[in-house]
Structure 1
Amino acid sequence: MSDEEPGAVKKTIRTVTPYYRGRPDAEMTTFGIVYFLGLVVLLVPLLPFLLIVWLVSKLTGRAARQSPVGGEE
């Protein structure tokens, strides 16, 4: 790499802003876990209905592929 590439940093910028050191964000982790558990509580009871709809769509799709279109054989 050469020093004349457009994206290369040429000097350090001095600033009065203190350096930010990351920290664990326990509040957002807790919120994410609660959100996930809420979705699980809502979606697990719906799972049998989703399974039935999926099976019916698969069976009707298979029946549509096996039947002749327009009565022609």
Structure 2
Amino acid sequence: HIWDEMGESEAEKDQMLVELERECLEVYRRKVAEASNAKARLHQSLAAKEAELAALVAAVGDLDLHSL
């Protein structure tokens, strides 16, 4: 095993594994938060573009009514 080759004790190995697990969990949580924030920004952008499209469609509709 790599631990034996490095001359690490069981306690040192366990401590290192706990630290690695903690670091992985932190990275995972950060990535989940980043993905959640990106999703929220996309939803906000989509809502703004939908409102812009609705305003354009309404403006074109008004133009059609006035040209009759």
**TM-score, with normalisation over the residues of structure 2?**
0.41
**TM-score, with normalisation over the residues of structure 1?**
0.39
Larger RCO (CA under 8 A, 6+ residues apart)? 2
